[in-house]
A and B are shown apart, each in its own frame.
Chain A
Amino acid sequence: METVLLVEDDIDVMDVTSLLLEDAGYLVLQAKNATQALRLAEEHPDICAVFTDVNLREGLNGIELAYELRARGNWASVVVVSGDLGWADTPLKEDMRFLSKPYGRKTLLAVVHEACVQTQTHQRP
Chain B
Amino acid sequence: MSPTDDNLLRLLPRSDLQKDPDGGLSSAGYQLLVQSVVDYAIYMLDPNGFITSWNSGARQIKGYEASEVLGRHFSMFYTEEDRLFGAPAKALLIARETGRFNGEAWRVRRDGSSFRALVAIDAIRDAAGELIGFAKITRDVTERWEAQAQLEESERRYRLFVEGVPGHALCMLDNEGRIRDWNPGAKRLTGYDASDIMGAPLTVLFPPDELSRTDIDRALSTAATVGNYEADHWNLRKDGSRFLAHVHLRSLRDEAGVLHGCACIMQDISEQRATETELEEIRAQLFQAQKLDALGQLTGGVAHDFNNILQALTSGLDIAQMRLQRGQIDVAGEQIDKAMRSVERAMHLTRRLLAFARRQPLMPSCVDVGQLVQSMTELLERTVGKRILIAIQLADVPLHVMCDGNQLETALLNLAINGRDAMPDGGTLRISTELDRSDAKGQAYVMLVVEDTGIGMSREMAARAFDPFFTTKPQGQGTGLGLSIIHGFVKQSQGMVRLRSRLGIGTRVELCLPSCKPTES
* Residues of A near any B CB (own CB < 8 A): 9-10, 12-13, 15-17, 19-20, 23, 55-58, 82-86, 100-105, 108
Q: In the complex, which residues 281-316 of chain B have their Cβ closer than 8 Å to any Cβ of chain A?
A: 300-301, 303-316
Is A58 in contact with B387, judged by CB distance below 8 angstroms?
yes
Known contacts A84-B303, A101-B307, A102-B313; is-contact A20 B318 (Cβ 8 Å):
yes
Nearest Cβ in chain A — how far from B438, in angstroms?
A: 43
Given contacts A84-B303, A102-B307, A104-B318, 12 further A-B contacts (CB under 8 A): A9-B386, A16-B315, A19-B319, A57-B387, A82-B304, A83-B307, A84-B300, A84-B301, A84-B307, A102-B314, A103-B311, A105-B319
Cα–Cα distance between A108 and B426 once the two chains are bound (Å): 32
Nearest Cβ in chain A — how far from B237, in angstroms?
A: 60
Set of chain A residues within 8 Å of B313, measured between Cβ atoms: 102
Cα–Cα distance between A122 and B319 once the two chains are bound (Å): 32
Known contacts A10-B308, A101-B308; is-contact A83 B318 (Cβ 8 Å):
no
User: Which of B306, B308, B318, B426 is the one whose CB lies under 8 Å from A13?
Assistant: B308
Nearest Cβ in chain A — how far from B389, in angstroms?
A: 11
Is A10 in contact with B307, judged by CB distance below 8 angstroms?
no
Sample of 12 A–B contacts (CB below 8 Å): A13-B308, A16-B312, A16-B319, A83-B303, A83-B306, A83-B307, A100-B307, A101-B310, A102-B311, A103-B314, A104-B318, A105-B318
Set of chain A residues within 8 Å of B303, measured between Cβ atoms: 83-85
Known contacts A20-B318, A20-B319; is-contact A101 B311 (Cβ 8 Å):
yes
- Does residue B342 face the partner (Cβ distance < 8 Å to A)? yes
Interchain residue pairs A-B with the least CB separation, the first 8: A83-B307, A16-B315, A105-B318, A12-B312, A102-B310, A84-B304, A101-B307, A57-B386
Q: Which residue of chain A has the shortest Cβ distance to B426 in the bound complex?
A: A58
- Does residue B32 face the partner (Cβ distance < 8 Å to A)? no
Nearest Cβ in chain A — how far from B312, in angstroms?
A: 4
Set of chain B residues within 8 Å of A100, measured between Cβ atoms: 307
- The B interface is mostly helix, strand or loop, or mixed, namely helix
Q: In the complex, which residues 155-206 of chain B have their Cβ closer than 8 Å to any Cβ of chain A?
A: none
Q: Which residue of chain A has the shortest Cβ distance to B319 in the bound complex?
A: A19
**On chain B, which size bracket covers the interface?**
20 to 34
Set of chain B residues within 8 Å of A82, measured between Cβ atoms: 304, 307
Cα–Cα distance between A23 and B314 once the two chains are bound (Å): 16
Nearest Cβ in chain A — how far from B325, in angstroms?
A: 12
Known contacts A55-B304, A58-B387; is-contact A83 B322 (Cβ 8 Å):
no
Is A83 in contact with B312, judged by CB distance below 8 angstroms?
no
Cα–Cα distance between A95 and B162 once the two chains are bound (Å): 87
Nearest Cβ in chain B — how far from A67, in angstroms?
A: 18
Nearest Cβ in chain A — how far from B42, in angstroms?
A: 110
Cα–Cα distance between A40 and B58 once the two chains are bound (Å): 130
Cα–Cα distance between A23 and B338 once the two chains are bound (Å): 18
Instruction: Among A10, A16, A84, A85, find the residue whose CB has the most chain B CB atoms closer than 10 A.
Output: A16
Cα–Cα distance between A18 and B315 once the two chains are bound (Å): 10
Known contacts A55-B304, A82-B304, A84-B304; is-contact A23 B311 (Cβ 8 Å):
no
Is A105 in contact with B315, judged by CB distance below 8 angstroms?
yes
Is B315 in contact with A86, judged by CB distance below 8 angstroms?
no
Known contacts A16-B316, A55-B386, A103-B314; is-contact A83 B300 (Cβ 8 Å):
no
Cα–Cα distance between A97 and B342 once the two chains are bound (Å): 27
Is A12 in contact with B307, judged by CB distance below 8 angstroms?
no
Is A13 in contact with B386, judged by CB distance below 8 angstroms?
no
Is B387 in contact with A83, judged by CB distance below 8 angstroms?
no
Q: Which residue of chain B has the shortest Cβ distance to A82 in the bound complex?
A: B304
Set of chain A residues within 8 Å of B322, measured between Cβ atoms: 23, 105
Is A13 in contact with B315, judged by CB distance below 8 angstroms?
yes
Set of chain A residues within 8 Å of B308, measured between Cβ atoms: 10, 12-13, 83, 101
Nearest Cβ in chain B — how far from A61, in angstroms?
A: 10
Is A17 in contact with B387, judged by CB distance below 8 angstroms?
no
Known contacts A19-B319, A23-B319; is-contact A104 B387 (Cβ 8 Å):
no
Q: Which residue of chain B has the shortest Cβ distance to A57 in the bound complex?
A: B386
Cα–Cα distance between A84 and B311 once the two chains are bound (Å): 12
Q: In the complex, which residues 470-499 of chain B have their Cβ closer than 8 Å to any Cβ of chain A?
A: none
